[in-house]
C-alpha cells in the first residue's frame, strides 16, 4: 500500500478559504466607502441647503455627520440612519430654483426667443462693452434674423488653465453678413458669487444660457480674463445647424419661464451641448466618454469622432485654432468675428 507524498503546497480548501476572506474584506471595504460617501453627501447637502443662517447650516451638518458615524459605525442602527438620510434627500430634492434673486449685472437678464416661422427675434441679447473684467457698460439688446440664413456653427473651448477642465460654448454663423449668434451655457451668479466646483453640485447656482455677441462672450475670455480660447469649425449642414439652433432656442425659452439648477456633473455646458446635438440628429454617439466630464479634452474627443471640420492632424489643428492673439489684435472692431477666424484652418473640402 502506497501513501501519497506531500507536495508542500496548500490544498484547494485553504485556497478557497483565503479567497472567501479576501472577498469578504473587499466587500467590507466597499461597504465602508459607500457609507462614507453617503455621510459626506448628506453633510454637504445640509451645509449647502436653503437654511437662511450660515451658523444653522454648519450646526445641522455637523450634527448629521456625528449622528451618521454613530448610527453606522458605532451602534449599527442602519434603519435609523436610512430614515434620517431619506429625510435629508427629500428636503434637498424639494429645494426650488428661482428666477428672482439679486443677480450679478452680467447675469441679470435671461434671453428669450420669439419665433414666427423662419423669423426669430431675440431679446436679452448681451453685448457689453468692457474696460476690465469688473468694469463694463451693460447693453442688453434685441436681435432679429431669419433661420434660413444660419449656415454653419463653430465650437469654442476656453481654459482658465490648460488642463482637464474648461468651459465650452458655440456660435451659429449666418450668410447675410451679420455677426454670429453666440450661446454660452453657464452657472448663474448672484452679486458677490463666483464659481465653486463643489458647491455647484448642491443647488447653489441656477442655469443661464447667455446669448450675445462674440465681442462680449468670446472677447471677455480672451482679452480680459486672459483665458486660453480655441475655436473649431464643426462639420454640419445648414439644415443641421438650423435644427440644433432651434433646440437651443427652445431650451432658452424654457429657462426664461422656469428656473433650473446648474449641476457640474449633469447639467453643464458640454453635456448639454452634446445632448442637443443628439436631439437635433447631428450627433449619433450615445456611449459615455470620460471627456464628456473632463471637457478640457473634449476637442480631441470631437476630432476623433469626426465632428470637427478639418483635414489637419490634431496637434496642428489645435495650434492654429488658438485665437487669443487674433482676438487681442481685433479689439472691439465691428468685424471681430471675422478677424478671429481669419487665421483658422479652412474647413475640409
Q: What's the average model confidence in pLDDT over 267-290? A: 84
* Chain mean pLDDT for the chain: 93
The string of pLDDT tens digits covering residues 59-104 is: 999 999 999 999 999 998 999 999 999 999 999 999 999 999 999 9
Assess whether pLDDT exceeds 90 at residue 28. Answer: no
CA distance 110 to 253: 9
Average pLDDT of the residues in 172-200:
96
**Alpha-carbon gap, residue 220 to 129, rounded angstroms:** 9
pLDDT over 70 (residue 339): yes
Length in residues, the chain: 349
Does residue 4 or residue 15 have the better pLDDT? 15
For residue range 228-276, what is the model confidence (pLDDT) as tens digits? 999 999 999 999 999 999 999 999 999 999 999 999 999 999 999 999 9
pLDDT at 6 over 70: no
Local structure of 182: helix, strand or coil: strand
Q: Beta-carbon neighbour count of residue 195 at 10 Å?
A: 15
Mean pLDDT of 338-348: 93
The greatest distance separating any two alpha carbons of the chain, rounded to the nearest whole angstrom, comes to: 103
Q: Which pTM value belongs to this model? A: 0.90
pLDDT band at 216 (very low <50, low <70, confident <90, very high): very high
- Grid coordinates in use for 333? 472692431
Instruction: Provide the residue ranges of all domains of the chain, joining segments of one domain with +.
Output: 15-93, 105-341
Strand partners, 122: 113, 143
**pLDDT digit string (tens) for 191-202?**
999 999 999 999
- Spatial contact of 182 and 213, defined as CB atoms under 8 Å apart: yes
Cβ contacts of residue 349 below 8 Å, gap of 6+? 311
**H or E element at residue 252:** helix 238-257
Amino acid at each position: 500500500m502506497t501513501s501519497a507524498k506531500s507536495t508542500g503546497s496548500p490544498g484547494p480548501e485553504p485556497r478557497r478559504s483565503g479567497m472567501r476572506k479576501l472577498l469578504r474584506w473587499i466587500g467590507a471595504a466597499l461597504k465602508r466607502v459607500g457609507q462614507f460617501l453617503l455621510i459626506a453627501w448628506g453633510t454637504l447637502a445640509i451645509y449647502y441647503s436653503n437654511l437662511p443662517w450660515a451658523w444653522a447650516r454648519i450646526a445641522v451638518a455637523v450634527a448629521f455627520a456625528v449622528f451618521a458615524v454613530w448610527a453606522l459605525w458605532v451602534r449599527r442602527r442602519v434603519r435609523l440612519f436610512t430614515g434620517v438620510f431619506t429625510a435629508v434627500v427629500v428636503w434637498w430634492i424639494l429645494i426650488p430654483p428661482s428666477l428672482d434673486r439679486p443677480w450679478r449685472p452680467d447675469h441679470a437678464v435671461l434671453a428669450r426667443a420669439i419665433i414666427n416661422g423662419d423669423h426669430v427675434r431675440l431679446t436679452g441679447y448681451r453685448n457689453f462693452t468692457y474696460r476690465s473684467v469688473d468694469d463694463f457698460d451693460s447693453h442688453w439688446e434685441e436681435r432679429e434674423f431669419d433661420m434660413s440664413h444660419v449656415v454653419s456653427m463653430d465650437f469654442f473651448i476656453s481654459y482658465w488653465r490648460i488642463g482637464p477642465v474648461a468651459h465650452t460654448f458655440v456660435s451659429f454663423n449666418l450668410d447675410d453678413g451679420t455677426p454670429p449668434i453666440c450661446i454660452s451655457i453657464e452657472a448663474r451668479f448672484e452679486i458677490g458669487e463666483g464659481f465653486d466646483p463643489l458647491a455647484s453640485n448642491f443647488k447653489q447656482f441656477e442655469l443661464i444660457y447667455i446669448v450675445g455677441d462674440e465681442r462680449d462672450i468670446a472677447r471677455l475670455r480672451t482679452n480680459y480674463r486672459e483665458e486660453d480660447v480655441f475655436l473649431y469649425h464643426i462639420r454640419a449642414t445648414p439644415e443641421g445647424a438650423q435644427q440644433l439652433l432651434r433646440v437651443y432656442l427652445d431650451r432658452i425659452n424654457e429657462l426664461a419661464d422656469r428656473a433650473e439648477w446648474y449641476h457640474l456633473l449633469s447639467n453643464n455646458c458640454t453635456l448639454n451641448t452634446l445632448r442637443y446635438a443628439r436631439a437635433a440628429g447631428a450627433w449619433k454617439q450615445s456611449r459615455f466618454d470620460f471627456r464628456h466630464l473632463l471637457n478640457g479634452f473634449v476637442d480631441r474627443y470631437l476630432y476623433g469622432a469626426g465632428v470637427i471640420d478639418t483635414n489637419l492632424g490634431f496637434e496642428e489643428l489645435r495650434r492654429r485654432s488658438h485665437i487669443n492673439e487674433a482676438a487681442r489684435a481685433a479689439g472691439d472692431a465691428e468685424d471681430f468675428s471675422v478677424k478671429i477666424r481669419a487665421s483658422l484652418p479652412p474647413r475640409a473640402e
